[in-house]
Structure 1
Amino acid sequence: MRKKIFYKLLLDCISFFLISVLSASLIIWIVQAVNFLDIIIDDGRNISTYLKYTLSNLPKIIAKITPFIILLTLIYIFSKYEKKNELIIFWNFGINKIEVVNFFFYISIIVTILQILIVSIIVPYTQDYSRKIIKNSSINFIDSFIKTKKFNASLEGITLFNNSRDENGNLYDVYVKNGDINNFQIIFAKKGKVNVQNNQNFLELFDGRTLSYTNGNVSEFNFSKTRIVLNKFDSGAITHRKTQQVSTINLFRCYFQIYKQTTEVDLSEILNIENCKSENISNIIREFYKRLVIPLYIPVIILVSLLLILTSKEKKFYNRKILSIFFLGLIFLILSETNQRFISKNLYSNLIIISLPIIFTIILNIIFNIKLNLKEKINDSL
């Protein structure tokens, strides 16, 4: 019977957690998906690229909100059990409160391990995958990129303008400028059209004139037909790998290789790991903190939530105590995120920050053991 009681409590927690995390993740994902619409509208990429890119951000969203949803879940479940007198069933069957604390503490260790695996393996992989999606995607210039009576500058290094466009995709009164301030080319054409051949986008121009400026020299010539390869221009999207997109194993390889060096080095090309250089070491350490230390706050959050079993609805200000415990959990969540700002190259200061969740966990366990064991002794004496 004791196992069934614990099983039901755990099942209720898991059910509420899954519903909450999926609902919250979906809302956040939709908001982000709306913000990512410029991938189609401005950059002219297709819908499949947009969907793949937005969906690849879902694991990161879930991992980010998991600690908060855990806090919300446990406070809701235990307060509901208390208000419906369901916790009395636990105590009437001889289950000690310390057993409940220990049960959820063991669960918290499992959840922490899972969270570390997700944020250190799955999230970097999906973030890197989203980068590759943008890097390897093509642009649908006809439908989205080239807009009539508007300067189109979504691609770096080239600006396009056309006065009108017919149903067949023919552009009229076309203006094109490409290059930089020292070397650029301006093209005027009566007509133009975008064609696709072998996955290459070409802008074909007819009956126009070209003005070229190169190192102070100006040249001009007329043409009946010319072609510009649009794929060679960058869309402006960030396609190089960020530190957060590098796998945890490669980050460790990079860190230990840099740590061995006595001078400032750039090992990016040698180790084939982007941003593997001495000047980026602080960001690498912060990434370790996000992946390996922040999940350690999950046992802290769970133990804070279990402070509810130390009180009852019969006592005064019970609802206030629920809010106080909830805000205490929020403080720990905020602390876990803000502490990464204090991560530096100094090993000893980092050790203090890294050890904080372990210290908090030990303190909370001591509090539970002292209060609950003392209360049990008092009840035995009575």
Structure 2
Amino acid sequence: MKKILFRKILSDCLVFFLITLFSTGVIIWVFQAVNFLDIIVEDGRNYLVYLNFSLLNFPKVISKLVPFVLFFSFIYVIGKYELKNELIIFWNFGINKIDLINFFIKFSLLIMLFQMFLTAIIVPKSQDLARSFLRASSINYLENFIKPKIFNDAVKGLTIYSNSKDEFGNLNEIYLKKGSGDNFQITFAKEGRFKQIGNNQFLELNFGETISVINDKITNFKFKKTDFNLSNFEDNTTTYKKTQEVATLDLVKCYHKLMNFDFIKIDENFEVENCRTDNIDNIIRELYKRIIIPLYIPVLILISLMLIFRSKENINYSRYRILIFLIGFSTIILSEMTIRLIDKDFIKNIKFFIIPIFLVFTLYYNYVIRFKDKKIVK
């Protein structure tokens, strides 16, 4: 009977958790995907790149939601069990409250490992893969990002301005600047339009003038019609790997190398992007987010189990539920705030590493003392 009761409450918690996690994740992902429309509208990417980039950001959204949704799910289901007198069934069948706590601690460790796997392996890989679609893609719909009366610089080394644009894509009063510094080229044209020849994109310009400045020498020529080749330009999208996109093992090796540790042997030819001394704070913070923050999962579940301390018959039960929720929510905020306090000093960081472990042992010890030698606690 004990296994059946434990399986029932766990399944209720899991079902509510998964439904809430997925539905909330989809809602947030949709809002995020709308922001990613800039990939098409402003950067001129094709729809396939946008779709892949958006979908690969879904694991990151889920990983951010897991702690809060898990805590909310447990506090909701356990509270519902108490309000419907279903917890009394546990105590009447001789189940000790500490047995229920032990059962959920084991479950919380599995969720913690899942969260570590998500944040340390899946999310960095998906983020890197998403970025790779941008690196490998080109601006296929360049005309889409041109907005009238705005200086458009989605293309690296090129600024395009148009005073107006009609419904057929024709541009009027065009300004183009190529290059920077002392060497640059400025082109004015009365009208123009984009055209595709094979895999190459051109801007066909009519009735204009080009002024070139090279080593303080100015040359200019007027034209009735000319093609401005856009295929040789690169976009302004970040092409290097960000720290959050680097594999966890590579970050560990990088930190080990920068700190001159000798715990593990690293290949002398080992290289990873952003592995620089001036980026060491970001590296250790990223490792902290991936490995240490998931340790707060058991803490949150133990906090939610504080609901079994009091019965719904208690006059202050509603306030007590709100208090437990605020404690758990504050714990989530605390876990995120500690990220900003992490720096390159490993010894100073140890106190932040042990906070979740300390909280787990403190809460569990409190439960053991409270329910010690009690076979049935009503």
Tell me, what secondary structure is at the counterpart of 2:273? coil
Partner of 2:240: 240
Shift in Å, 1:290: 0.3
Identity of aligned residues (%): 46
81-90 vs 203-212, which deviates more? 203-212
Partner of 2:102: 102
| Residue 76, structure 1, aligned to residue 76, structure 2 | yes
Partner of 2:369: 370
What is the letter of the counterpart of residue 321 of structure 1?
Y
213-222 vs 8-17, which deviates more? 213-222
Tell me how far apart the structure 1 counterparts of residues 316 and 103 of structure 2 sit (CA, whole Å). Answer: 28
Partner of 1:277: 276
Tell me how far apart the structure 2 counterparts of residues 360 and 149 of structure 1 sit (CA, whole Å). Answer: 57
What do the CA deviations read for 1:103-129 (whole angstroms, capped 9, x no partner)?
000001111111101100000011111
Contact 1:152–1:159, Cα closer than 8 Å, also in 2: yes
Contact 2:190–2:206, Cα closer than 8 Å, also in 1: yes
Shift in Å, 1:173: 4.3
Report the structure, 1 or 2, having the larger helix content: 1
Shift in Å, 1:297: 0.4
Shift in Å, 1:225: 4.8
Partner of 1:159: 159
Tell me how far apart the structure 2 counterparts of residues 146 and 284 of structure 1 sit (CA, whole Å). Answer: 37
Tell me how far apart the structure 2 counterparts of residues 64 and 86 of structure 1 sit (CA, whole Å). Answer: 32
Change (3 A) 1:62 1:378: closer
What is the letter of the counterpart of residue 174 of structure 1?
I
Partner of 1:145: 145
Tell me how far apart the structure 2 counterparts of residues 8 and 322 of structure 1 sit (CA, whole Å). Answer: 22
Shift in Å, 1:93: 1.2
What is the letter of the counterpart of residue 343 of structure 2?
S
What is the CA RMSD across the aligned residues, in angstroms?
2.5
Shift in Å, 1:197: 4.0
Contact 1:142–1:169, Cα closer than 8 Å, also in 2: no
Contact 1:36–1:54, Cα closer than 8 Å, also in 2: yes
Partner of 1:318: 317
Tell me how far apart the structure 2 counterparts of residues 270 and 218 of structure 1 sit (CA, whole Å). Answer: 48
Tell me, what secondary structure is at the counterpart of 1:286? helix
Change (3 A) 1:8 1:348: same
Partner of 1:208: 208
Tell me how far apart the structure 2 counterparts of residues 132 and 251 of structure 1 sit (CA, whole Å). Answer: 19
Partner of 2:51: 51
Partner of 2:356: 357
Partner of 2:305: 306
Shift in Å, 1:169: 5.0
Looking at both structures, which has the greater relative contact order when contacts are Cα pairs under 8 Å and sequence separation is at least 6? 2
Contact 2:92–2:376, Cα closer than 8 Å, also in 1: no
270-279 vs 162-171, which deviates more? 162-171
Tell me how far apart the structure 2 counterparts of residues 232 and 116 of structure 1 sit (CA, whole Å). Answer: 43
Partner of 2:129: 129
Tell me how far apart the structure 2 counterparts of residues 272 and 104 of structure 1 sit (CA, whole Å). Answer: 42
What is the letter of the counterpart of residue 365 of structure 1?
Y
User: Where does structure 2 lack aligned partners over 5 or more consecutive residues?
Assistant: none
Partner of 2:295: 296
Tell me, what secondary structure is at the counterpart of 1:315? coil
Tell me how far apart the structure 2 counterparts of residues 54 and 340 of structure 1 sit (CA, whole Å). Answer: 26
Contact 2:208–2:223, Cα closer than 8 Å, also in 1: yes
Partner of 2:15: 15
What is the letter of the counterpart of residue 76 of structure 1?
Y
Tell me how far apart the structure 2 counterparts of residues 377 and 41 of structure 1 sit (CA, whole Å). Answer: 64
Change (3 A) 1:317 1:111: same
What is the letter of the counterpart of residue 317 of structure 2?
Y
Partner of 2:347: 348
What is the letter of the counterpart of residue 292 of structure 1?
I
Partner of 2:326: 327
Shift in Å, 1:188: 2.4
User: Where does structure 1 lack aligned partners over 5 or more consecutive residues?
Assistant: none
Shift in Å, 1:202: 2.3
What do the CA deviations read for 1:289-313 (whole angstroms, capped 9, x no partner)?
0000000000000001001111110
TM-score (norm 2): 0.91
Shift in Å, 1:230: 2.1
Partner of 1:254: 254
Change (3 A) 1:162 1:278: closer
Tell me how far apart the structure 1 counterparts of residues 345 and 142 of structure 2 sit (CA, whole Å). Answer: 54
Partner of 1:174: 174
Q: How does 1:88-99 map onto structure 2 within 5 Å? A: 88-99=88-99
Change (3 A) 1:111 1:178: same
Contact 2:46–2:141, Cα closer than 8 Å, also in 1: no
Tell me, what secondary structure is at the counterpart of 2:175? strand
